[in-house]
Every structure is written in C-alpha cells, then in structure tokens.
C-alpha cells in the first residue's frame, strides 16, 4: 500500500495524468502500478481534504468506491478514512486508520493519555478502598 499526499506541483503526476517522454524515467503512478504493482494506492489532497483510493485491477489502477468510513483493506484488517479532529494542535480533516469495529486507531499521544487516565482512576479507587478501611493514605 502506498499513501500519497498530493502537492499542487505534482498532482497530475501523482494521479497518473501526465504523459512522459519515453526517455524520461517513469513517474510515481507508473512505478506503483506497473513496476511495483502495489495493490492499493491512496491519495489525499491535504489542501482540499479529498481522499481517493485506487485498487490494482487487471494490471491497472481503478478508483475504488469509499464507504462512509473510508476504504476497508481486508489484507491489512484496517481501513483508511478521513477523520476530523486535532492532531499536534492543528484541527482539520486528517487521513487516519480505523479498525474492524469502526474505531479510529489511537496515536501514541492518545494511547499515553488513555494510559495516564486509567492509572489516575486506579489510584483513585485504591485511595477510596484505603479510606473505607479507615486508613488515610499519605499522598505526599
């Protein structure tokens, strides 16, 4: 699988819409489609927030239909779609993986935040148990 973030200067090449001179090396699209034969080619326009997925079909890329979530890739047991939210203090649509139940795959920052919250809740439960036994915990 290849994920390409479109740039205005290379958009036509990234989408396989350019004709190359026979003496020039192949463009990205040709390399992915005809040389490497990458089964899935995702394209995300980060300026227009448009997501497109192409699947290798009979030796050529064909644009795949997206579901409400995005595109499910059975071989990876993951989907790829557009999520709106804040990442690194920037709020906008982002390309993001999702699991088989439709949950977005957590980033490392989100995982650490979840772990810290679970630890905080565990500590609060232990303090409450100690207090119920008449022990005042030393929290210093």
Structure confidence at residue 11 (pLDDT): 83
Structure confidence at residue 17 (pLDDT): 81
Structure confidence at residue 86 (pLDDT): 87
Structure confidence at residue 63 (pLDDT): 96
Q: Can you give the pTM of this predicted structure?
A: 0.76
Task: Determine the Cα–Cα distance for residues 117 and 123; give it in Å rounded to an integer.
Answer: 10
Low-confidence ranges of the chain (pLDDT < 70): none
Query: How far, CA to CA in Å, does 50 sit from each of 10, 16, 46?
Result: 16, 17, 7
The gap between the terminal CA atoms of the chain, to the nearest Å, is: 51
Give the strand order in the sheet containing 78-87. Answer: 71-73, 78-87, 90-98
Structure confidence at residue 22 (pLDDT): 79
**What SS3 class is residue 43?**
strand
b/e burial code for range 63-89 (CB count within 10 A of at least 16 → b): ebebeeebbbbeeeeebbbbbeeeeee
CA angle 55, 61, 62 (to 5 degrees): 70
């Amino acid at each position: 699988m290849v994920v390409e973030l479109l740039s205005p200067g290379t958009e036509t090449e990234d989408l396989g819409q350019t004709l190359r001179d026979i003496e020039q090396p192949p463009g990205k699209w040709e390399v992915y489609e005809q040389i490497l034969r990458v089964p899935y080619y995702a394209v995300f326009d980060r300026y227009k927030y448009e997501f497109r997925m192409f699947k290798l079909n009979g030796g050529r890329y064909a644009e795949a239909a997206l579901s409400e979530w995005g595109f499910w890739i059975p071989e990876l047991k993951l989907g790829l779609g557009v999520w709106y939210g804040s990442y690194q203090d920037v709020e906008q649509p982002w390309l993001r993986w999702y699991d088989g139940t439709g949950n977005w795959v957590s980033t490392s920052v989100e995982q650490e935040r979840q772990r810290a919250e679970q630890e905080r809740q565990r500590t609060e439960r232990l303090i409450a148990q100690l207090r119920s036994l008449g022990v005042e915990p030393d929290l210093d």
